[in-house]
Amino acid sequence: MKRVLTGSTLLLLAIGAQAAPRGLTAEDVVALDRVSAPLLSPDGKRVVYALREADVPANKAVTSLWMVPLDGSAAARRLTSGSASAVSAQFSADGASLYFLSPRSGSMQVWRLPLNGGEAQSVTDYALDVGSYRVSPDGKQIALSFEVFTDCPDLACTSKKLAETAAKKSTGVLYERLFVRHWDTWKDGRRSQLFSATLDADGRASAEPVKVSVGIDGDVPSKPFGGAEEYTWSPDSRSLVFSARIAGQSEPWSTNFDLYRVPADASAAPVNLTADNPAMDTSPVFRADGLVLYYLAMKRPGFEADRLAVMEKNLSTGATREIAPGWDFSAGGMALSSDGKRIFTAVDDRGSHPIHVIDIATGKARRLPGVGRVEGFDVGRDALVFTRSTLTSPAQVFTSRLDGSGERTLSAFNADKLNDVRFGDYEQFSFAGWNGETVHGYVVKPWNYQAGIKYPVAFIIHGGPQGSMGDSFHYRWNPQTYTGAGFAAVFIDFHGSTGYGQAFTDSISGDWGGKPLEDLQKGWAAALGKYDFLDADRACALGASYGGYMVNWIAGNWNEPWKCLVNHDGVFDLRAMGYVTEELWFTEWENGGTVFDAPENYEKFNPVNHVANWRVPMLVVQGEKDYRVPVDQGLATFTALQRRGIPSQLLYFPDENHWVLRPQNSIQWHNTVKEWLERWTR
Tens-digit pLDDT profile for residues 554-565: 999 999 999 999
Cis peptide bond upstream of 153, omega within 30: no
Percent pLDDT > 70 in the chain is 97
- Asked if 457 and 485 count as a contact pair (C-beta separation under 8 A), the reply is no
Q: Answer yes or no: is pLDDT of 6 > 50.
A: no
The 10s digit of each residue's pLDDT in 275-293 is: 999 999 999 999 999 999 9
**DSSP H/E element including 458:** strand 455-461
The 10s digit of each residue's pLDDT in 347-361 is: 999 999 999 999 999
Per the domain annotation, does 360 fall within a domain?
no
Distance from C-alpha of 336 to C-alpha of 463, rounded to nearest angstrom: 31
**pLDDT for res 406:** 97
**DSSP H/E element including 192:** strand 191-198
Q: Which domain holds residue 653?
A: 426-681
Q: Answer yes or no: is pLDDT of 317 > 80.
A: yes
Q: Answer yes or no: is pLDDT of 501 > 70.
A: yes
Average pLDDT over residues 25-30: 98
Q: Answer yes or no: is pLDDT of 2 > 80.
A: no
320-322 vs 334-336, strand pairing mode:
unpaired
Distance from C-alpha of 308 to C-alpha of 297, rounded to nearest angstrom: 5
Looking at the structure of the chain, the number of domains it has is: 1
Distance from C-alpha of 679 to C-alpha of 653, rounded to nearest angstrom: 22
Q: Answer yes or no: is pLDDT of 76 > 70.
A: yes
Distance from C-alpha of 279 to C-alpha of 23, rounded to nearest angstrom: 46
Q: Phi and psi dihedrals of 500, rounded to 5?
A: -125, 20
**pLDDT for res 322:** 98
Per the domain annotation, does 471 fall within a domain?
yes
Residue 18's pLDDT band, with cuts at 50, 70 and 90, is: low
Q: Phi and psi dihedrals of 382, rounded to 5?
A: -125, 0
**pLDDT for res 5:** 34
Q: Answer yes or no: is pLDDT of 426 > 70.
A: yes
Burial of 73 (0-12, 13-18, 19+ CB in 10 A): exposed
**pLDDT for res 437:** 98
**pLDDT for res 412:** 94
The 10s digit of each residue's pLDDT in 162-172 is: 999 999 999 99
Of the candidates 464, 472, 457, 474, which has an alpha carbon nearest to the alpha carbon of residue 495? 464
Per the domain annotation, does 464 fall within a domain?
yes
Average pLDDT over residues 304-329: 98
Contacts of 227 (CB under 8 A, 6+ apart): 88, 132, 221
**pLDDT for res 247:** 84
Which of 545-579 are b and which e, b meaning 16 or more Cβ less than 10 Å from the residue's Cβ? bbbbbbbbbbbbebbebbbbbbbbbbbbbbbbbbe
For position 621, which CATH number holds? 3.40.50.1820
Residue by residue, DSSP assigns 32-92 as S-EEEEEEE-TTSSEEEEEEEEEETTTTEEEEEEEEEETT--S--EE-S-SSS--EEEEE-
Of the candidates 305, 672, 678, which has an alpha carbon nearest to the alpha carbon of residue 495? 305
How many residues does the structure list for the chain? 682
**pLDDT for res 248:** 87
Options 192, 243, 472, 545, the catalytic residue: 545
Residue with more model confidence, 6 or 528: 528
User: Most distant CA pair in the chain: distance in Å?
Assistant: 75
Give the chain's mean pLDDT: 96
Q: Answer yes or no: is pLDDT of 11 > 90.
A: no
Look up 192 and say whether it is catalytic: no
Whether the CA torsion 621, 625, 626, 630 is positive or negative: it is: positive
**pLDDT for res 475:** 96
- Asked if 244 and 217 count as a contact pair (C-beta separation under 8 A), the reply is no
Per the domain annotation, does 168 fall within a domain?
no
Q: What SS3 class is residue 479?
A: helix
Distance from C-alpha of 223 to C-alpha of 220, rounded to nearest angstrom: 8
Distance from C-alpha of 242 to C-alpha of 228, rounded to nearest angstrom: 9
Residue 82's pLDDT band, with cuts at 50, 70 and 90, is: confident
Per the domain annotation, does 325 fall within a domain?
no
Contacts of 681 (CB under 8 A, 6+ apart): 456, 487, 538, 539, 540, 563, 564
Residue 14's pLDDT band, with cuts at 50, 70 and 90, is: very low
Cα dihedral angle (213, 215, 216, 221), rounded to 10 degrees? 20
Burial of 589 (0-12, 13-18, 19+ CB in 10 A): buried
Which of 165-202 are b and which e, b meaning 16 or more Cβ less than 10 Å from the residue's Cβ? eeeeeeeeeeeeeebeebbbeeeeebbbbbbbbebeee
Per the domain annotation, does 456 fall within a domain?
yes
**pLDDT for res 7:** 36
Average pLDDT over residues 294-322: 98
Options 568, 658, 666, 670, the catalytic residue: 658
Distance from C-alpha of 502 to C-alpha of 662, rounded to nearest angstrom: 35
Of the candidates 439, 496, 501, which has an alpha carbon nearest to the alpha carbon of residue 464? 496
Q: Answer yes or no: is pLDDT of 8 > 60.
A: no
Options 626, 648, 666, 670, the catalytic residue: 626
Average pLDDT over residues 24-32: 98
Distance from C-alpha of 520 to C-alpha of 457, rounded to nearest angstrom: 14
Q: Answer yes or no: is pLDDT of 15 > 80.
A: no
Average pLDDT over residues 227-232: 98
- Asked if 573 and 608 count as a contact pair (C-beta separation under 8 A), the reply is yes
Per the domain annotation, does 606 fall within a domain?
yes
Residue 10's pLDDT band, with cuts at 50, 70 and 90, is: very low
Look up 462 and say whether it is catalytic: no
Cα dihedral angle (384, 390, 392, 397), rounded to 10 degrees? 20
Residue by residue, DSSP assigns 137-178 as TTSSEEEEEEEE-TT-SSHHHHHHHHHHHHH-S------SSS
Distance from C-alpha of 333 to C-alpha of 323, rounded to nearest angstrom: 16
Q: Answer yes or no: is pLDDT of 97 > 60.
A: yes
Per the domain annotation, does 557 fall within a domain?
yes
* Strands of 648-653's sheet in order across: 426-432, 438-444, 488-493, 455-461, 534-544, 564-568, 618-623, 648-653
Q: What SS3 class is residue 610?
A: helix
- Asked if 482 and 458 count as a contact pair (C-beta separation under 8 A), the reply is yes
Average pLDDT over residues 317-343: 97
Look up 36 and say whether it is catalytic: no
Q: Answer yes or no: is pLDDT of 17 > 70.
A: no
